[in-house]
């Protein structure tokens, strides 16, 4: 029995056991919560049983290209143009209160 299935390559399956969607949920939840809380959140929202160690591994693999991503973004950004002086105006919009004079 061979584990090579050529059609699986067309499905864009992740090399890990977990789907892209589940990995994304784990990464999002672990960014906001602890790993134990992430296990509970995933269990409640997807009914998937993931151990804490797998949650840690998924979160770590999700952040593996963090530095390269931001370096690429900085390389793409254009330097700010030099501008002249900045003029700041402060205006009060209340106006003058008018009262009617007695006759």
pTM of the predicted model, to two decimals?
0.56
Q: How confident is the model at residue 1 (pLDDT cuts 50, 70, 90)?
A: very low
In a domain, 24, yes or no: yes
Judge whether 101 and 56 are in contact, CB under 8 Å.
no
Condensed to tens digits (0 to 9), the pLDDT of residues 13-25 reads: 777 788 888 989 9
Condensed to tens digits (0 to 9), the pLDDT of residues 26-80 reads: 999 999 999 999 999 999 998 888 999 999 999 888 888 778 888 888 877 777 7
In a domain, 39, yes or no: yes
**Count: domains in the chain:** 1
Structural domain of 47: 17-67
Mapping DSSP onto H, E and C, the string for 4-62 reads CCHHHHHHCCCCCCCCHHHHHHHHHHHHHCCHHHHHHHHHHHHCCCCCHHHHHHHHHHH
Separation CA 65–CA 81 (nearest Å): 30
Separation CA 91–CA 18 (nearest Å): 58
Condensed to tens digits (0 to 9), the pLDDT of residues 71-101 reads: 888 877 777 778 788 888 888 777 777 788 8
């Amino acid at each position: 029995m061979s584990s090579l299935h050529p059609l699986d390559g067309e499905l864009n399956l992740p090399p890990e056991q977990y789907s892209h969607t589940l990995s994304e949920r784990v990464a999002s939840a672990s960014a906001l919560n602890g790993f134990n809380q992430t296990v509970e959140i995933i269990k409640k929202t997807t009914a998937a049983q993931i151990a804490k160690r797998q949650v840690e591994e998924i979160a770590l693999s999700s952040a593996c290209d963090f530095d390269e991503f931001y370096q690429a973004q900085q390389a793409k950004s254009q330097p700010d143009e030099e501008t002249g002086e900045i003029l700041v105006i402060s205006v009060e919009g209340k106006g003058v209160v008018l009262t009617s004079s007695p006759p």
